[in-house]
């Protein structure tokens, strides 16, 4: 395990301040821990531009898809108890998925269908289920957008949303391709069915309370409301898009205010993207993953989760969607991406890095070679607006000795 060059670490602060000064980001923070010891923290900018409130270490942010590793871990704690296995079809838990159809290859409309098997839990976890996102291109993405199947915090509950999703066809035969999807939202509902608890109750009991993640929840905790960040977009229209970015005149246009956000009182518990929390809370989660489970889950189960579960890299499975990470040189495990080849991914890293990000540009990775946890918090939608993640990985790797 190498250390860090302090002078090179200082470049991170310059990089962060430049993003703030150029109005790419309103505010942000970076936290690095190596071998369980904090080696770097810095913050810059504002959590709320209109209110002129600074971004601080205890700022509460929307972590969106960084919820997925939490949900995946919760499911695997149930797998460890022998309650089911990963090849079980989702229809065993949600009967609405019993009689599934999928689009034929090359389909251009929703009538071009063929029968298919229900996705398995493993396919839902690894984005090979045939599900999609409403913001993804293609027939299914358009259908999901039309029916407003988005798993947003202010929509009706998880059970009716999953049942509505099951009425639509899959984008492809389960297991045949990779497409970023709401699969882990469906996994959240499976967890509720198996446990008889709400997803938040399961998270609190099995993960948050044991780790002391007291400010990570689906709704902003009452005591933290004055520390909740606003969320911005450089987009001319809504920020929930992954296509061609049509930037507006204001690079920091408010898209979700801290005082009227759906996350103040969530009505849908999204296992794919619903959590809010602090950077120190998330470090407790990544450190648990890095160090072998902290008694929450077995170290061998974690090893299994952080392996590549695909036949090769993501790009080899024909994705037509957006993802929170590169697809070349990158495999996918249970709950996050696994770096197979830094050269193919075109960003510095160690083979075996486990990582994921969120729609509001948050990001984490765990480096098993350097015993490193790295977390980046900010609030800008979409995460594809700027290449901040690759830049931060280059800065951190450049500082390693």
- Give residue-wise pLDDT tens across range 149-161: 999 999 999 999 9
Find, among 151, 163, 199, 34, the residue nearest to 90 by Cα. Answer: 163
What would the pLDDT profile of 45-63 be if each residue is shown by its tens digit? Answer: 999 999 999 999 999 999 9
Cα(208)–Cα(4) distance, integer angstroms: 31
Question: DSSP characters for 118-157?
Answer: PPBHHHHHTT-SS---TTSSSHHHHHHHHTT----TTSSP
- For the entire predicted model, the pTM comes to 0.97
**Whole-number average pLDDT of the chain:** 95
Backbone angles phi, psi at 392, to 5 degrees: -65, -40
Q: Which of 90-94, 150-154, 239-243, 249-253 has the lowest mean pLDDT?
A: 239-243
Band the pLDDT of 241: cuts 50, 70, 90.
Answer: low
Band the pLDDT of 322: cuts 50, 70, 90.
Answer: confident
| Residue-level pLDDT at 249 | 79
Residue given tokens 């039309």 in the structure block: 146
Find the DSSP H helices in 147-269.
158-166, 183-195, 199-203, 209-211
Band the pLDDT of 185: cuts 50, 70, 90.
Answer: very high
User: What residues act catalytically?
Assistant: 65
Band the pLDDT of 242: cuts 50, 70, 90.
Answer: low
Band the pLDDT of 239: cuts 50, 70, 90.
Answer: low
Q: Answer yes or no: is pLDDT of 203 > 60.
A: yes
Question: Which CATH topology does 1-401 take?
Answer: Beta-lactamase (3.40.710)
Find, among 191, 192, 186, the residue nearest to 79 by Cα. Answer: 191
Band the pLDDT of 246: cuts 50, 70, 90.
Answer: low
Q: Answer yes or no: is pLDDT of 362 > 90.
A: yes
| Residue-level pLDDT at 177 | 96
Distances (CA, A) of 321 to 28, 142, 315, 378: 27, 13, 11, 23
Backbone angles phi, psi at 320, to 5 degrees: -115, 15
């Amino acid at each position: 395990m190498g250390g860090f060059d302090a002078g090179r670490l200082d470049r991170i602060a310059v990089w962060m301040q430049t993003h703030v000064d150029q109005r790419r980001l309103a505010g942000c923070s970076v936290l690095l821990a190596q071998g369980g010891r904090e080696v770097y923290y810095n913050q810059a900018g504002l959590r709320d531009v209109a209110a002129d409130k600074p971004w601080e270490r205890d700022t509460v942010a929307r972590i969106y898809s960084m919820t997925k590793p939490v949900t995946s871990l919760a499911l695997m704690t149930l797998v460890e108890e022998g309650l089911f296995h990963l090849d079980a079809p989702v229809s065993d838990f949600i009967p609405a998925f019993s009689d599934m159809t999928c689009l034929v290859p090359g389909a251009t409309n929703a009538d071009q269908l063929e029968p298919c098997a229900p996705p398995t839990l493993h396919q839902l976890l690894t984005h090979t289920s045939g599900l999609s996102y409403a913001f993804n291109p293609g027939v299914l993405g358009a259908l999901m957008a039309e029916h407003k199947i988005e798993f947003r915090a202010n929509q009706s509950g998880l059970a009716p949303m999953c049942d509505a999703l099951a009425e639509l066809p899959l984008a492809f035969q389960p297991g045949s391709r990779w497409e970023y999807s709401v699969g882990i939202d469906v996994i959240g509902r499976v967890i509720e069915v198996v446990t008889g608890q709400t997803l938040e109750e399961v998270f609190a009991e099995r993960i948050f309370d044991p780790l002391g993640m007291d400010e990570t929840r689906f709704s902003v905790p009452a005591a933290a409301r004055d520390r909740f960040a606003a969320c911005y977009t450089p987009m001319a229209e809504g920020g929930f898009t992954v296509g061609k970015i049509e930037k507006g005149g204001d690079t920091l246009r408010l898209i979700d205010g801290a005082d009227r956000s759906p996350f103040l009182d969530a009505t849908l518990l999204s296992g794919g993207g619903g959590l809010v929390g602090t950077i120190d809370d998330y470090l407790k989660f990544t450190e648990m993953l890095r160090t072998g489970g902290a008694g929450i889950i077995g170290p061998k189960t974690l090893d299994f989760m952080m392996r590549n579960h695909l036949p090769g890299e993501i790009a080899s499975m024909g994705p037509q969607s957006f993802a929170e990470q590169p697809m070349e040189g990158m495999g996918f495990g249970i709950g996050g991406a696994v770096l197979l080849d830094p050269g193919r991914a075109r960003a510095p890293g160690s083979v075996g890095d486990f990582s994921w990000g969120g729609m509001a540009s948050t990001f984490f990775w765990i480096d098993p070679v350097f015993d490193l946890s790295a977390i980046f918090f900010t609030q800008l939608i979409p995460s594809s607006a700027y290449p901040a993640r690759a830049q931060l990985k280059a800065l951190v790797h450049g500082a390693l000795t």
